[in-house]
Structure 1
Amino acid sequence: MRTHSRILPRRFPVLALALSVAALAPAAAGELLVGNKSADTVWFLSREDGRRTAVAETGAGPHEIAVSPDRRRAVVTNYGGRTPGHTLTVLDLVDGAAARTIELGDHGRPHGLRFLPGNRRVAVTTEDSGSLLVVDLDAGSGDDPVEAAIDVGDGMGHMVALSDDGEVAYVSKIAAGTVSRIDLKRARKTGERASGEGAEGIAYRRGHGELWVSNRAADTVTVHDPDTLEVTHTLQSKGFPIRVVFTADARHALVTNARAAELAVFDADSRKRVATIGLSGDDERYQETLLGRAALPIGVIADPTRPRVYVAISGADEIAVVDTGTWQVIERWRTGREPDALGVVE
């Protein structure tokens, strides 16, 4: 396997212009990155007003986005469509340079990913090979970018979370209904435990030593000890809980219930639900989906500097902007077809 750099067909000069303008504007609010799964694009939306500032084309089926801690680049997993994807797209967030494609060889259906410490490597789940990959984004043209392919076993490893120090990864398995613990230093799985049927969303509560998993078919969110993976609490979240993330202060857990078309908000300390935000709309954009509901919220991310949460409404091609003071939808921004993956650029 080799890393191949090539220019994908896209309108990337627009990105270079948009970033140049933003750098000159003191009031620039930064951007929200939105992966449009059925359009094979990432849209850059102003976090000030939802205005689209740039479009970058990706491989087929961009499912997840990770922004490097130094904010210099973003990585997109190209999951594929009917044909499995085997690539990552790397976007330059500073100079607007040509996007790069990293080939993963036999590791198909890349999905969840997180940046590892140092801004150079990412951990990526690949469903077809049952692996968690460690990928070097800066590998030379003659080098294999896959530094490690860690076997996580059968069960459809889907999403990944990292411990505070980045030395341990946790992978949710949809088909198995489990969560796995992976020691990245030793490059091996050290444990696996049941969480709930359809385990999919996963998040590590930074600074608190807790792992949260949303179990979509069980209508639950489970809280786990990160060392033993023991379930310490089980929360009810009916309506196909598909993602779980935390606000920047780790005070609230945000759960998208896809079939219920809502965002559930839990106080992370008390484990109590404190808000439920309905996300359905009234116009023709809310079309029927395979999951049986029109809105279909999936991806969710908290703004690190503003009292806002962004929810990708996949069935309506829009972002719902939620105010965290009132827990109300305050704006709706248009996207490309079937938004899901989200990232924030300061």
Structure 2
Amino acid sequence: MNRCLMTLCALCAWTLPLASAASSGGELLVGNKSDDTVWRLDLADGRRLGEAATAHGPHEIAVSPDGRVAVVSGYGGQQRPGSTLTRIDTASGKATGEIDLGAHARPHGMRFTPDGERLLVTTEASGALLVVDPVAGEVERVIGIGDGGGHMVALSRDGGVAYVSKIAAGSVVRVDLADGSTLERPAGAGAEGIELAPDGTVWVSNREAGTVTVHDPDTLEVLDTLESAGFPIRVAFTADGRHALVTNARAATLAVFDAASREPVATVALAEPEATYRETMLGRAALPIGVIAGPDGSRIYVAVSGGNEIAVIDRRTWRVVERWKTGNEPDALGIVAGHRDSD
């Protein structure tokens, strides 16, 4: 019997809108890990537009290519592993149910396929990469990637190959989605963040090593090693592909690299000197984690987990220009372009 059934009833509706209208520029989705919620913020000014409850421990957000669906991974807490995904319909502004992953606990990294019909999900507890039908709420395939803490996932532009970072193993895994074959090679100690550059190379942020390794997409050979001191935890690229963005959690900085030359461009300080930060996995600290680039290319958004805020960075000056309030322990970020007014 298929244990991966979608709950037919909705978990909750968005709260009443906190702003009557919003910019047509879109919405920033923020997963608040300690609150089990996703907040919707106006991309233009950070106004809170609504809130939805999620499964316990929302760690990552994936938005479908057409922007109609957002899925949130319920990683769970320290004592209670999660094994569900929350599905949110962005047009209606409502959570439409959960996808039960059964024995595959600790879901984390997620990516939609380019056609939006399938969702790739890493599950740390079962050492797998799942292929999920998000509409039917079913796990269609289970691809074993082995132990070692498979955490984040990136996808080739054609959707044929997935790449998974492994924190404990300090490695990266190449998964051929056609036949399920895998190739694993070393990256660096604490390999966590992962993303593909415009040229197809695979960039991995290695938090314990303090480096970003650049890998050949076919062989996973290390082509370059970039220094990014202070616990590099996520890597992303701007919409135009010019810049790589790396959050350094312990240093509380955003390191910016030229994607083509791989040379450093800027280091953005994310902590406020006089701020009082909450307790985090690194002690009482700012702890920036999630990073995402705005669709128009002008701004970068960083989830400052210890400060319960989003740091908004102007790409022209590489400075923090605004700070937006969030719920408790923001981490996961997603963008829905072309915002629809709240109902």
> TM-score by structure 1 length?
0.93
Does residue 1:194 correspond to 2:186, yes or no? yes
Does residue 1:231 correspond to 2:222, yes or no? yes
Equivalenced residues, count: 334
Does residue 1:183 correspond to 2:176, yes or no? yes
Secondary structure of the equivalent of 1:315?
helix
What pairs up with 1:108-123 in 2 under 5 angstroms? 108-123=105-120
**Residue in 2 that maps onto 1:304:** 295
**Residue in 2 that maps onto 1:337:** 328
CA drift at 1:135 = 0.3
Q: Deviations over 1:249-298 (max 9, x none)?
A: 11111000000011000111121111001111144542343314511000
- Preserved contact between residue 55 and residue 84 of structure 2 (Cα < 8 Å): yes
Does residue 1:43 correspond to 2:39, yes or no? yes
CA drift at 1:187 = 2.2
Q: Distance in 2 between matches of 1:268 and 1:293?
A: 33
**Any gaps of 5 or more consecutive residues in structure 2?**
338-343
Does residue 1:107 correspond to 2:96, yes or no? no
Which 10-residue stretch deviates more, 57-66 or 92-101? 92-101
What pairs up with 1:74-89 in 2 under 5 angstroms? 74-81=70-77, 82-89=79-86
| Cα distance change, pair 8–37 in 1 and its aligned pair in 2 (3 A) | farther
Q: Distance in 2 between matches of 1:269 and 1:256?
A: 19
Q: Distance in 2 between matches of 1:72 and 1:92?
A: 6
**Residue in 2 that maps onto 1:168:** 161
Secondary structure of the equivalent of 1:223?
strand
CA drift at 1:220 = 0.4
* Two-structure CA RMSD over aligned residues (Å): 1.6
Q: Deviations over 1:28-58 (max 9, x none)?
A: 2211000000100000000111010000000
Does residue 1:150 correspond to 2:146, yes or no? no
> Which amino acid in 2 is paired with 1:149?
V
Identity %: 62
Q: Distance in 2 between matches of 1:290 and 1:138?
A: 35
Which 10-residue stretch deviates more, 148-157 or 2-11? 2-11
**Residue in 1 that maps onto 2:205:** 214
CA drift at 1:6 = 4.4
Match of 1:61 among 54, 57, 68: 57
> Which amino acid in 1 is paired with 2:195?
A
Match of 2:16 among 14, 24, 47: 14
Match of 2:234 among 243, 246, 265: 243
Q: Distance in 2 between matches of 1:279 and 1:83?
A: 32
| Cα distance change, pair 284–274 in 1 and its aligned pair in 2 (3 A) | closer
Q: Distance in 2 between matches of 1:290 and 1:209?
A: 33
CA drift at 1:205 = 1.2
- Preserved contact between residue 128 and residue 143 of structure 2 (Cα < 8 Å): yes
| Cα distance change, pair 277–293 in 1 and its aligned pair in 2 (3 A) | farther
**Residue in 1 that maps onto 2:4:** 2
Secondary structure of the equivalent of 2:280?
coil
Secondary structure of the equivalent of 1:250?
coil
> Which amino acid in 2 is paired with 1:12?
W
Q: Distance in 1 between matches of 2:4 and 2:124?
A: 20
> TM-score by structure 2 length?
0.94
